[in-house]
Chain A
Amino acid sequence: MDPPYGAILFLAVLSIFAVVISMRQARRKRDKTHYIGAAVGFLMLSVFTLALLNQALLAFIILVVGGLAFIATLPRAMALQKREMDEQLAKAVEETDLSEPLRLRDFLKWKGWLKLAYKWGVWKTASIYSILGATIIAGVSYTVLSAFNMMNVWLAVGYTASATIIIFILFHRQISKALEKTKQNL
């Protein structure tokens, strides 16, 4: 059977995104840790190239050797992401006045979600955010799966459900931390 070109093309596009974004951030922020993203992207692209050139064994060896080395850097990459997210949140906390009325455009920034969490509580806010996120992901998954001619209801449902759980956990963690800081500033 031919290689799954759709899946390979999709992963290659994501890898190119990772390379471009991480290199841009490495130059802008002058932090070499950002090059990890670029290196992972290049590793993936070389694995796909070798696989498409019928060099499955070489692709597998490079994936295992290079992959294990990069997975060891995962805690560093996660720490960097956490630090940057904390900086964004700290900025949002400084700018937010919880006593101000809630406006629709606030929801495009952390501001609106912080105000909502203050009024309605973290669980309700995280649930609303996750439902909105699930709707976006359901739409994206339908479009992507249809484009690759892989549309299957169960796959789309599984995709949306898994993503919603991840969204809820990530958002709940961030908004709880930010709200605590905002309350301390009051």
Chain B
Amino acid sequence: MQSKVTLQFVELNSSLTLSQLYAVLGKVAKEVGKVYEKSGDETLAQLAQGYYSMKKEAKGLSKLVEKQLQEYDMEILKSSAILIDSDCSTMASTICSTIITGLGAIACIWIASPCGIWYPVCHAACLVAWAAASGAFCTWLGNTLCGEATTVEQLGCGAACEVICLACPSWNLACVMCSPACEQVCNQIF
């Protein structure tokens, strides 16, 4: 099965509260849905429904925060967001690999600590090996969670893409999508 992933980066220039942020994201999702629906491209038109659902959910979240979570409805000076529409397994494996890579960054501090002068070599080797193994594990976990079968090629793509995407700096918002985008290309090649 070929998966489709679309994403929009939303940068907010002014300060606003959490409930207002969700309301704005809902409006953005609605506008994206409209653009996709009217694009004349059948593939994009199929994705419009996902963005309309996103609009409803963001609106619901906005009301929930405004009425029931007032203590969190504070002013946010600077905010940004990514709106992603993707299939279940891609989303699950992206969340899994983002978290496991973060945990690897913590674990590797201790794993490499006995290396002395060779600390940078041990730390880098640990980070990359951890990323490769977690890429394969998360591809399998994401597929299993969503009831999809996993192929050996998908595991290889998961491992390779996680390693390649280590070079993408984590402070860049777009890097969250590096791995799924890379896996999509890799799975099409193999």
Q: Which residues of A contact B (CB under 8 A)?
A: 1, 3-4, 6-8, 10-11, 14-15, 17-18, 21-22, 25, 34, 36-37, 40-41, 43-44, 48, 51, 56-57, 59-60, 63-64, 67-68, 70-71, 73-74, 77-78, 80-81, 84-85, 88, 107-110, 113, 129, 132-133, 136-137, 140-141, 144, 150, 152, 154-155, 158-159, 162-167, 170-171, 174
* In contact, A166 and B120 (Cβ under 8 angstroms): yes
B8 at the interface (CB under 8 A from A): no
Known: A4-B137, A57-B145, A163-B125. A14 touches B130 (CB 8 A): yes
Majority secondary structure of chain A interface residues (helix, strand, loop or mixed): helix
- Cα–Cα, bound, A125→B190 (Å): 40
- Cα–Cα, bound, A184→B124 (Å): 30
* In contact, A162 and B140 (Cβ under 8 angstroms): no
- Cα–Cα, bound, A138→B190 (Å): 24
- Cα–Cα, bound, A170→B128 (Å): 14
B132 at the interface (CB under 8 A from A): yes
Q: Which residue of A lies closest to B144 (CB)?
A: A56
Stretch from B20-28, B32-40, B59-67, B106-114 forming part of the interface with A: B106-114
* Additional 4 contacts, C-beta under 8 A, given A8-B137, A41-B107, A48-B137: A22-B110, A74-B105, A80-B109, A137-B124
B12 at the interface (CB under 8 A from A): no
Partner of A144, one of B116, B127, B129, B155: B129
* In contact, B120 and A71 (Cβ under 8 angstroms): no
Q: Tell me how far the C-beta of B143 lies from the nearest C-beta in chain A, rounded to whole angstroms.
A: 8
Stretch from B50-58, B74-82, B93-101 forming part of the interface with A: B93-101
